[in-house]
Amino acid sequence: MSPSSEASLPRFSRGERWAHRVLGILVGALLITGAFLFFPDLGSLVGNRQIVTTVHDVAGWLVPVPLVLALFSRAFRADAGRLNRFSPADWQWLRSRDRRSGRIRVGKFNAGQKLNASLTLGALIVLFGTGMVMFWSSLFSDSIRTGATFVHDWVSLALGLLVLGHIWMSFNDATARAGMRTGSVPLTWAEREHPAWAQEMLDTADQRPASAATPSSSRSTSSAVE
Amino acid sequence: MAEPGEQIAVESRGAPVGRRIVLGVAALGAAGVVAGRWLSEGVSSVVASTAPGLASVIPAAGGFRIYTVTGGYPEFDPATYRLTVSGLVDRPASWSLADIAELPQTQMTKDFQCVTGWRVDDVPWSGVLLRDVLSACGVESGAEALAFTSFDGVYTESLTLEQAMRDDMLVATTMYGKPIEVKHGAPVRLIAAPMYAYKSIKWMDGIELTRTVQPGYWEVRGYDIDAWVGESNGRTDEPVV
């Protein structure tokens, strides 16, 4: 198998892409309505506190839905497993100054993506829990209510920064963005940004030509990895 | 060069740091909820002493949160604004801002406590004591309560006459030594200092003396009418003094 310049690798399954899309919309709605509820000068632009609160509450309740549904996708579970594991190379990558040079061979996700995924999930869990306390506030003592509000405020500010950073990184790499939109990436991009993963995909394909991980031409669909 | 398969192993091996981060963040969050009351007081006092401007941008740093029940803020023209005092009074009034400025002025510095839990310490207000407003207009016998209206067209509030006669009930026109900002209820708002902040109606344009208490906007939605800080709405905050 000799990959041509047009060859591409399947990166994200349809299920993963939909989960990402839906979660992105929900988190976006939460951050925007949350900003209206939180920042006095933004809130003044829209007012209508009860309507904004309702949108925020509904979106909050829906956040677990794409995450739980995604667990039914084998591709999602496999990627979650990759994001979970930090190899010695990941620590090296985080510490190094030339992490973009390609000297450290990055797998499907670099250590920054792993950190982002873990911190985002942790923040979502905390925001969901403290959001429930604020939703059913009459069940909790003043101290717990105040504590939940305090944590919700600061963690959502932190998540907002994380999400902004995530969007910023994606805007700086149209190919990575297209990977999440279409599901596949050019082999050349993968060999530059995620060489260990590209190697792994090619090796797997060499061993098992009929497997789902077969590199395909850029025109073919990636539905085989669903 | 790595053997085929070894790369896979490299990526699937390694410590489950991601899970530790997720659980760690969740545990920190839970600890923050338990300790949040003290933490938030600490953050507020640090911000107040180092970067006081921050609290007006980030309410979590100890500032005011702005609640409005309508779209945006209501607008007013300082030249045509009037505060009316009506109902069971001897001399109904319709005061311009200049008229209000000629009434006896009182300053007070009070904590501002919201029923949702946030509190801003030591906010200086000035304006006219509610009881000075009442004595200027003369309360008729039979009047037992006050009904307040806002020119946002929606919000209402109430006090008993006895509550209104306290010396910490202010018709406020300044805040922190400056005219009240629009978001804080310009040009005139009530400061019912010993009660939760929903009693302190913003953008106030009317005071009516009535025979009975007419429950206000949040009170018909389940909040206590007698909203003493620390003794109502199921809360145990320290009283405002």
Instruction: Give the model's pLDDT for residue B42.
Output: 78
Instruction: Give the model's pLDDT for residue B142.
Output: 95
Token pair, residue B128, equals 């006219």
Strand partners, A184: A10
The 8 Å CB, 24+ separation contacts for A213-221 are A213/A10, A215/A1, A215/A3, A215/A7, A215/A8, A215/A9, A215/A187, A216/A7, A216/A8, A216/A9, A216/A10, A216/A184, A217/A4, A217/A6, A217/A7, A217/A8, A218/A6, A218/A7, A218/A8, A218/A184, A218/A186, A219/A6, A221/A183
- Quote the ipTM score: 0.82
CB under 8 Å to A189, separation ≥6 — which residues? A175, A176, A179
Residues A23-52 have pLDDT tens digits of: 999 999 999 999 988 887 777 777 777 788
A residues 37-96 near B, CB within 8 Å? 38-41, 43-50, 81-90
Asked if residue B173 is part of any domain, the answer here is: yes
Q: Which residues of A touch B57 (CB under 8 A)?
A: 39
Q: Where residue B116 falls among pLDDT bands split at 50, 70, 90?
A: confident
Q: What is the DSSP letter of A215?
A: -
Instruction: Give the model's pLDDT for residue B12.
Output: 53
Closest partner residue to A85 among B13, B63, B234, by Cβ?
Answer: B13
Residues B175 and B132 both lie in one domain: yes
Residue A53: CB atoms within 10 Å: 14
Cα(A49)–Cα(B59) distance, integer angstroms: 16
Closest partner residue to A147 among B12, B37, B236, by Cβ?
Answer: B37
Residues B129 and B216 both lie in one domain: yes
- Is-contact A44 B73, C-beta < 8 A? yes
pLDDT over 80 at A127, yes or no: yes
B60 close contact with A: CB closer than 8 A? yes
Give how far Cα A109 sits from Cα of A7, A67, A213, B125, Å: 20, 19, 17, 56
Token pair, residue A133, equals 């306390």
- Is-contact B81 B97, C-beta < 8 A? yes
Closest partner residue to A196 among B10, B32, B68, by Cβ?
Answer: B10
Q: Cβ–Cβ of B72/A200 closer than 8 Å?
A: no
Asked if residue B32 is part of any domain, the answer here is: yes
The structural domain count of chain B equals: 2
pLDDT over 60 at A143, yes or no: yes
Selected for mutation to probe chain B from A9, A149, A197 (highest B CB count within 10 Å) is A149
Instruction: Give the model's pLDDT for residue B7.
Output: 43
pLDDT over 50 at A84, yes or no: yes
Q: Where residue A76 falls among pLDDT bands split at 50, 70, 90?
A: very high
pLDDT over 50 at A225, yes or no: no
Our CA-based measurement puts residue B144 at a distance from the nearest CA of chain A, in whole angstroms, of 32
Q: Which residues of B touch A94 (CB under 8 A)?
A: none
Instruction: Give the model's pLDDT for residue B163.
Output: 97
Instruction: Give the model's pLDDT for residue A75.
Output: 95
Q: Where residue A5 falls among pLDDT bands split at 50, 70, 90?
A: low
Q: Mean pLDDT across chain A, nearest whole number? A: 86
Q: Where residue B191 falls among pLDDT bands split at 50, 70, 90?
A: very high
Angle made by CA atoms B206, B167, B67, in degrees to the nearest 5: 50
Q: Mean pLDDT across chain B, nearest whole number? A: 88
The residue type found at A168 is W
Asked if residue B65 is part of any domain, the answer here is: no
Q: Which residues of B touch A90 (CB under 8 A)?
A: 14, 17
Instruction: Give the model's pLDDT for residue B141.
Output: 94
pLDDT over 50 at A214, yes or no: no
Instruction: Give the model's pLDDT for residue A48.
Output: 76
Give how far Cα A110 sits from Cα of A14, A77, A84, A117, B8, Å: 22, 17, 11, 11, 14
Instruction: Give the model's pLDDT for residue A49.
Output: 76
Our CA-based measurement puts residue B178 at a distance from the nearest CA of chain A, in whole angstroms, of 18
Selected for mutation to probe chain A from B13, B20, B23, B37 (highest A CB count within 10 Å) is B37
pLDDT over 80 at A179, yes or no: yes
What's the whole-number mean pLDDT along residues B219-225? Answer: 90
- Range in A147-151, B66-70, B88-92, B149-153 with the lowest mean pLDDT: B66-70
B222 close contact with A: CB closer than 8 A? no
Q: Which residues of B touch A83 (CB under 8 A)?
A: 18
Q: Cβ–Cβ of B30/A122 closer than 8 Å?
A: no
Cα(B75)–Cα(B48) distance, integer angstroms: 31
Strand-pair category, A184-186 with A7-10: antiparallel
Residues B111 and B197 both lie in one domain: yes
Asked if residue B234 is part of any domain, the answer here is: no
Asked if residue B64 is part of any domain, the answer here is: no
Asked if residue B233 is part of any domain, the answer here is: no
Instruction: Give the model's pLDDT for residue B11.
Output: 52
Residues B23-74 have pLDDT tens digits of: 999 999 999 999 887 887 777 777 777 766 676 666 666 677 777 777 678 8
Instruction: Give the model's pLDDT for residue B174.
Output: 97
Q: What percent of chain B has pLDDT over 70?
A: 90
Our CA-based measurement puts residue A150 at a distance from the nearest CA of chain B, in whole angstroms, of 6
Residues B42 and B101 both lie in one domain: no
What's the whole-number mean pLDDT along residues A44-69? Answer: 89
Q: Which residues of A touch B23 (CB under 8 A)?
A: 122
Token pair, residue A120, equals 């985002």
Residues B37 and B88 both lie in one domain: no
Instruction: Give the model's pLDDT for residue B52.
Output: 67
CB under 8 Å to A122, separation ≥6 — which residues? B21, B22, B23, B24, B25, B26, B29
Residues B52 and B76 both lie in one domain: no
Number of cross-chain residue pairs from A and B with Cβ atoms under 8 Å apart: 181
What's the whole-number mean pLDDT along residues A109-128? Answer: 95
Cα(B220)–Cα(B69) distance, integer angstroms: 14
Residues B32 and B114 both lie in one domain: no
Our CA-based measurement puts residue A173 at a distance from the nearest CA of chain B, in whole angstroms, of 23
Cα(A134)–Cα(A140) distance, integer angstroms: 9
Q: Where residue A176 falls among pLDDT bands split at 50, 70, 90?
A: very high
What's the whole-number mean pLDDT along residues A53-75? Answer: 95
Asked if residue B61 is part of any domain, the answer here is: no
Q: What is the DSSP letter of A103?
A: S
Token pair, residue B223, equals 């909040």
A141 against B155, higher pLDDT: B155
Q: What is the fold, at CATH topology level, of the domain defined by A7-209?
A: Fumarate Reductase Cytochrome B subunit (1.20.950)
**Which residue is listed with tokens 């739980």?**
A68
Local structure of A184: helix, strand or coil: strand
Instruction: Give the model's pLDDT for residue B56.
Output: 66
Instruction: Give the model's pLDDT for residue A41.
Output: 74
Sign of CA dihedral A185, A186, A192, A196: positive
**Which domain covers residue B175, as residue numbers?**
70-221
Asked if residue B241 is part of any domain, the answer here is: no
- Range in A151-155, B118-122, B196-200, B220-224 with the lowest mean pLDDT: B118-122
- Is-contact B117 A142, C-beta < 8 A? yes
Residues B51 and B167 both lie in one domain: no
Residue-level length of chain A: 226
